[in-house]
Structure 1
Amino acid sequence: MAVDVTWLGHSTVTVDVHAPGGRLRVVTDPVLRAGLGHLRRRPRTPAASASQGCDVALVSHLHHDHLDLPSLRRLRPAVLVTPPGSSDWVRWRLDRPGTHVVEVAVGQTRELRVRGRAVAVTALPAHHAGHRTGSGFSRAPRDAVAVEHLVRVPGAFPARDRDDLLLWAIGDTGEFEGSDDVLTAGGRAPDVALVPVGGWGHTLGPHHLDPRQAAELVARVRPGVSVPVHWGTLHPVALGRTMGDRFSAPGPAFVAHARRLGAGGALDVGVGGRVRLDDAAQVRGMSARRRPTSPDEGP
């Protein structure tokens, strides 16, 4: 049995749980197009096979680079988890009767049944604006908030004493007091953390984590594996050449900071790269740019 974590770019990650009863696929903040609005994608757009068959899709907030309606229509998830205050609007705009749309309030846990499998989703607070740009035009709710998601999948590792998978999908956040409350919510450190370490613009501002801040968060929480996301993918139209090293530096910088702080398990796999966790507590990273690595190897 194993869990595969594949970064498809920006905050989009597929998490495949291979366990008795078949595969369960979770996809975070799906953006599966070459561009959206004023943003363009530099890495190759992921093939449909990289995300199809989605059982649970998680949306952290309503910003266009996290909630992309055309991508969600293409994805056709069985269950779509939205942030608080947004499910009715998302259901209306998505217009996909085959997708069950639910929302999870901050501090709440929803128990889902997906293809006979139990999945628990907890929403945690984030320090980030959650409303949609141009909400007056789109009639999106102005009071929607941004959240992080903690996902528990029982039976993911049947050979372990603790057989559940704990997945921490941070989405988008800046620093705030209580940012490590995931430990209380989960009862232990997550197995996998998807950690935002950059952005798509030339500046980040207080509502995002830079590589050092992200590494400090990981050093406090100590997840088993930390994958840097939300970097190296999107850029404003016609400004791709002005991004400097923002397409190459944040991921390796995060890994270097994390290791300097003594936080193991930080792996920069690159867009299209994969991390595998197995029942024997072994972790292997298959980078899109280089040979497989273990958490103890250099970036």
Structure 2
Amino acid sequence: MKTYSGPASDHFDGVRFFDPDGVAPRSLRDVLRWQFSGSRQRATWPLWVPSPHADVPPARVNGDTVRLSFVGHASWLIQTAGVNILVDPVWSMRVSPVAFAGPRRRNDPGIAFEALPNIDIVLVSHGHYDHLDLPTLSRLAATFAPRVITPLGNDITMRTGDPAIRAEAFDWHDRVELGNGLHVTLVATRHWSARGLFDRNRALWASFVLETPAGKIYIVCDSGYGEGAHFRRVAEAHGPIRLALLPIGAYEPRWFMRDQHMNPEDAVRALQDCGAEAALAHHHGTFQLTDEAIDAPVMALGEALDQAKIPRARFLALKPGQVFEI
């Protein structure tokens, strides 16, 4: 199995990546304890929960407007300055190493693949199957041949799966020109990565700061909260932030998930820490990865905003197919 090889750094020991401010991912023993605990309380999701929305995006969005369409889970289409960008695109029915088992979609993507405009750029945050979906990336490569910007090591996964995927790998703090005045910077986030049992943290993970004509968008695809240091550092290094995309789901049980996934209360703290003017929620309602109910994250988000005395309109939870513009 080919994996990343490069010089050691403050977050790479020469073999594996690590978060200097994070913790190691949970052990297999902890996974088994969670999965087979007699006290486990796993909510039952409906088999299918269709969104009432379906977006047909324009071919391009020019000028200083930014149009964001929620595809579902952590997938977004961002259109601005004549450039079309997909984030962690997943059009597959399952997010799993195999097509016949694993977490299954509970609603259609908010944009039908055939309705996508020409895609120029794809941002892939890390190697977990609900974010790096090889069948979708291969389909995008065959249809649009976009540039794929991803953290170190994930390019190997992509090119091994399909040499036609135009993957470009970067480290934390690298700033990448996307064209038409757009840039994206990879920033540290509290998470980890793996595709199987033997490649844990052999590829890097990241969040993104996208510079647009309407301001900077902080794209957090997966993250724990910890003490909030990652979010405050982004505010210090990249602020002001116009909009943050923040995950709110896949958080129960907390003893197992708190170091890798934020719950809604954490996400509200992350919004306060990064100082974004507004936020959009994601990573909920499409794939059941953990134990909470399908509607629990959105309900808890409203409660957390009320508790923090933040207007609910500042942090919205869209349904697949809904659109937000700045």
Which band: TM-score by shorter chain? Answer: 0.7 to 0.9
State how far apart, in whole Å, the 2-side matches of 1:50 and 1:226 are: 26
Moved over 3 A (4+): 49-52, 200-205
State the partner residue of 2:204.
Answer: 145
- Counterparts of 1:9-158 in structure 2, within 5 Å, are 9-17=72-80, 19=81, 23-37=82-96, 38-45=102-109, 46-76=111-141, 77-96=145-164, 99-113=165-179, 117-134=180-197, 136=198, 142-153=201-212, 156-157=213-214
Identity over aligned pairs, percent: 23
- What SS is found at the alignment partner of 1:179? helix
Answer yes or no: is 1:220 the counterpart of 2:251.
no
Structure 1 pair 174–119 and aligned structure 2 pair: CA distance change class (3 A)? same
Looking at structure 2, the residues matched to 28 and 141 of structure 1 have their Cα atoms a distance apart, in angstroms, of 23
- Residue 251 of structure 1: how far off its partner (Å): 2.4
Compute the displacement of 1:52 (Å): 4.1
In structure 2, do the counterparts of structure 1 residues 142 and 208 end up closer, same or farther at CA, with 3 Å as the change threshold?
Answer: closer
Question: Residue 66 of structure 2: SS of its match in structure 1?
Answer: strand
Deviation (angstroms), 1:60:
0.9
Q: CA deviation at 1:82?
A: 1.1
> In structure 1, how many angstroms separate the alpha carbons of the residues matched to 2:307 and 2:114?
37
Name the structure 1 match of 2:226. Answer: 176
Aligned: 1:196 with 2:247: yes
Q: Does the residue aligned with 1:64 lie in a helix, a strand or coil? A: coil
Say whether the 8 Å CA contact 2:251–2:261 is kept in structure 1: no
Q: Select the structure that is richer in strand.
A: 1
What per-residue deviation string (whole Å, max 9, x for no partner) do you get for residues 219-256 of structure 1?
Answer: 222212211100110126xx9xxx66x32231242244
> Tell me, what secondary structure is at the counterpart of 1:35?
coil
Inter-CA distance 266–50: structure 2 relative to 1 (3 Å threshold): farther
Unpaired runs of 5+ residues, structure 1, are 158-164, 278-299
CA 1:49–1:258 in 2, change beyond 3 Å: closer, same or farther?
farther
The letter for the 1-side match of 2:304 is: H
TM-score (norm 2): 0.69
Task: Report which structure shows greater RCO (CA 8 Å, sep ≥6).
Answer: 2
Contact 1:201/1:235 (<8 A) preserved: no
Residue 258 of structure 1 is matched in structure 2 by 305
CA distance in 1, matches of 2:253, 2:162: 31
Give, in whole Å, the separation in 1 of the partners of 2:306 and 2:69.
22
TM value normalised by structure 1: 0.75
Alignment-derived partner of residue 268 in structure 1: 317
Residue identity opposite 2:94 in structure 1: G
Partners of 1:167 and 1:130 in 2: CA distance: 23
Which consecutive residues of structure 2, in runs of 5 or more, have no partner in the other structure?
A: 1-62, 97-101
Q: Distance in 2 between matches of 1:208 and 1:90?
A: 24
Q: Which moved more, 1:261-270 or 1:168-177?
A: 261-270
Structure 2 counterpart of 1:231 = 284
Instruction: Name 2:5's counterpart in structure 1.
Output: none
Partner of 1:297 in structure 2?
Answer: none
Distance 1:53 1:202 in 2: 40
Q: 1:217 to 1:200 in 2, by over 3 A?
A: closer
1:197 alignment partner AA: I
Shift of 1:149: 0.9
Distance 1:250 1:142, change over 3 A: closer
For the 8 Å contact 1:10–1:232, the answer to whether it is kept is yes
Query: Deviation at 1:142?
Result: 4.7
Structure 2 letter corresponding to 1:184: E
User: One-letter code of the match for 1:193?
Assistant: A
Q: Secondary structure at the match of 2:319?
A: coil
How many Å separate the matches in 2 of 1:41 and 1:255? Answer: 24
C-alpha distance 118-47 of structure 1, shift in aligned 2 (>3 A): same
CA offset digits 1:91-126 (Å, max 9, x no partner): 232321xx532122112222233xxx2332211111
Secondary structure in 2 aligned to 1:234?
Answer: coil
Structure 2 counterpart of 1:285 = none
CA distance in 1, matches of 2:235, 2:251: 29
CA distance in 2, matches of 1:205, 1:263: 23
